[in-house]
Amino acid sequence: MSYRGRFAPTPSGPLHFGSLVTALASWLDARYHQGEWRVRMDDLDPPREQPGAADTISRQLEAFGLHWDGALLYQSKRGDAYQAALDALLEQGQAFYCTLSRQQLKALGDVHPGPSVAQPPGPDRAVRLTVPVAALCFDDRLQGRVCAQLAEEEGPFVIRRRDGLFSYQLACALDDRDQGITDVVRGADLLTSTLQQIRVLDCLGATAPRYAHLPVILQPDGRGKISKSMGGAALDPDLKGPLTHAALTCLGLSPPTGLQQATVTDLLQWARENWTPEQLPRGTGLPAPALLQGGKV
């Protein structure tokens, strides 16, 4: 199958610099492999969403020259597909209903005991997916061999919440399968999510994409990654050139200083001509570039 990548933001607010780095890496990798690049809105959690954010994100991507292939996909329109997969997992005995609260789980060391506490179907019940006792592993293009003992670290994980909302892990795995996604480039903060999504795909008899987990961009003060929840500033459209230049530098490229004020078209053309996946940084975190540390965005 030919390369098909994707960028899947949550519309909880506008894109920030960390989002730009991830989107740019995903887009460039797809173009380097002469593949497609899809955009999907992970809009499954209404309490977290910001009205109008999906449209804002679409406009931001276009303003920064990151045009996608095909139609936008919205998770909020995929409920029937998620329910069908959930029913199949329950029927196969791979998933079970659970009534344990967060407080009860905390008393158990935050590790779910497994199907021994399964409950019959009913209201106010989460659905959890079983996990193997053996370590689950995958080979990441940037992070190398990644393994985790899901049974010991968390136990069976939620694929449908008590309030009836489908989980990110279930929806993301199904969307990647149904969209024919072959390659996922995203932040290293999602490594645990990747293992859980691989488990979902394994239970459904599907093949997982190839993954490349980028180091996340840290806040200027070093306190965790730049994120919407931590107040990451929205991308300034008046700084498209400098921001794109800084993002390319974070991705291991060395764009000429003279391109800082270039158009995004010229910057992306230079990036496509000079992109090689081998230049991508390893590790799990990168310091914020000087442009952000100077308080200009």
Check whether 6 is labelled as a binding-site residue: yes
Q: Which residues of 220-258 are buried (b: 16+ CB within 10 A; e: fewer)?
A: eeeeebbbbeeebeebeeebbbbbbbbbbbbbbbebeee
Check whether 9 is labelled as a binding-site residue: yes
Check whether 177 is labelled as a binding-site residue: no
What is the torsion angle, in degrees rounded to the nearest 10, for the CA atoms of residue 204, residue 206, residue 210 and residue 212? Answer: -10
Q: Tokens 């173009």 identify what position?
A: 31
Check whether 7 is labelled as a binding-site residue: yes
For 277, which DSSP code?
G
Positive or negative, the CA dihedral 104, 107, 111, 113 is: negative
Check whether 161 is labelled as a binding-site residue: no
Q: Report how far residue 49's alpha carbon sits from residue 98's, in angstroms, rounded to the nearest whole number.
A: 26
Check whether 186 is labelled as a binding-site residue: yes
Residues of the binding site for ATP: 228
Residues forming the annotated binding site for L-glutamate?
Answer: 6-10, 42, 168, 186
Residues annotated within a binding site: 6-10, 42, 168, 186, 228
